[in-house]
Amino acid sequence: KKQYRIAVIPGDGIGKEVVPEGLRVLEAAAKKHGVSVHFDHFDFASWDYYEKHGEMMPEDWKAKIGKHDAIYFGAVGWPAKIPDHISLWGSLIKFRREFDQYVNLRPVRLMPGVPSPLANRKPGDIDFWVVRENTEGEYSSVGGRMFPDTDREFVTQQTVMTRVGVDRILKFAFDLAQSRPKKHLTSATKSNGISITMPYWDERVEAMAKNYPKVKWDKYHIDILTANFVLHPDWFDVVVGSNLFGDILSDLGPACTGTIGIAPSGNINPEGNFPSVFEPVHGSAPDIAGQGIANPIGMIWSGAMMLEHLGEKQAAASIVGAIERTLGERTLRTRDLGGNADTAACGKAVAEMV
């Protein structure tokens, strides 16, 4: 029987506090469902490591974690101590690029016990996935500055879309839509304003749709799409977007379901050539770090996504069910959700219910 080897990287700030709760729940679920998991812990991809070594990760980071079945990642970044282009681009974005994690997958689901900022929405009304391209697009490193410090100064940056890059994320999104009862795909575009890359995106969506006659699809410009997330969140089933549009939609979506604080995500290499990274959507939250009050649900839910990715569907489902039951009890929720549990109490509650 296969033993899964998971690389655990807590990172910075509340990452360090929520990872132990995520592991507690993963261990409980693994035990209950007869899944064998081994965890290897790493301290790099953090400010602490950078302070000691002058770099975010050791030179042989790929050798260290590249053969694991998955990476369980807390959060990275501490803007007051270290600039984003070092911390994020030296870890999180490096993983995405060098491990070819071209899918960023995030559920948008209204959970029991979490008050939605939207009026009159209840659990069940909002339940969709955002599929984000995770390696190219607007997050390119191509560009520069000319005529610095003069009135002629200008800066450019390219958005880059490759045929390979666009087609594979669309294929993933159409496959996901086809596997769901509603079979509905929505593409985020802005081809009326961004007049070269976005019409190309639209063109590839149309071509890919031909392979999926059972999937109903539509497209919205990103401006009205964000409006519709607020006005009609029940319209959506699978929403696919470029790196930037997916980034925006996968923060806005969780906000519409109450909080970024519980949202999970997967940075996925679907072919399994490289390990995928599972991490909560929230960041390292320096303002509340060290107090033991962070909400561990985003981290725990990311663990469920990791098990699902590994093919352990039952263990994954039992975690999601335990999250729902925990959130349903006010006393088991953390303070950000109007409860009074601390990080550990909330994590223990989920672990007991899996």
Residues making contact with ligand IPM (CB under 6 A) = 88, 192-193, 223, 247
Q: Are 110 and 328 in contact (CB under 8 A)?
A: no
Tokens 């998955």, residue?
70
Number of residues engaging a second copy in binding (CB under 8 A): 64
Least distance (Å) between residue 75 CB and ligand IPM: 9
Give the CA dihedral 329, 334, 335, 338, nearest 10 degrees: -20
The phi and psi torsions of 169 (rounded to 5 degrees) equal -70, -35
331 binds, options a second copy, ligand IPM, none, Cβ within 5 to 8 A by partner type: none
State which residue, 28 or 56, has the beta carbon closest to a second copy: 56
80 binds, options ligand IPM, a second copy, none, Cβ within 5 to 8 A by partner type: none
State which residue, 254 or 275, has the beta carbon closest to a second copy: 254
User: Is residue 152 part of the contact set for a second copy (CB under 8 A)?
Assistant: yes
Least distance (Å) between residue 172 CB and ligand IPM: 17
Query: Considering only residues 236-295, where is the footprint of a second copy by CB under 8 A?
Result: 243-244, 247-248, 250-252, 254-256, 259-260
User: Is residue 235 part of the contact set for a second copy (CB under 8 A)?
Assistant: no
Query: What is the x/- site pattern for a second copy, positions 25-64, by CB under 8 A?
Result: ----------------------------------------
User: Is residue 191 part of the contact set for a second copy (CB under 8 A)?
Assistant: yes
Least distance (Å) between residue 56 CB and ligand IPM: 14
For residues 153 and 149, give the distance between their C-alpha atoms in angstroms, rounded to a whole number.
Answer: 6
For residues 198 and 192, give the distance between their C-alpha atoms in angstroms, rounded to a whole number.
Answer: 8
For residues 136 and 84, give the distance between their C-alpha atoms in angstroms, rounded to a whole number.
Answer: 18
Cα–Cα nearest to 259, from 239, 277, 241, 285: 285
State which residue, 63 or 196, has the beta carbon closest to a second copy: 196
Helix or strand (DSSP H, E) at 134: none
State which residue, 266 or 347, has the beta carbon closest to ligand IPM: 266
Q: Which amino acid is at 202?
A: D
For residues 293 and 296, give the distance between their C-alpha atoms in angstroms, rounded to a whole number.
Answer: 9
135 binds, options a second copy, ligand IPM, none, Cβ within 5 to 8 A by partner type: none
Query: What is the x/- site pattern for a second copy, positions 114-133, by CB under 8 A?
Result: -xxxxxx-------------
State which residue, 146 or 227, has the beta carbon closest to ligand IPM: 227
Q: Are 46 and 12 in contact (CB under 8 A)?
A: yes
Those residues with Cβ within 8 angstroms of residue 180's Cβ, 6 or more apart along the chain or in another chain: 237, 238
State which residue, 239 or 316, has the beta carbon closest to a second copy: 239
Nearest 5 degrees, angle CA 23-CA 27-CA 28? Answer: 120
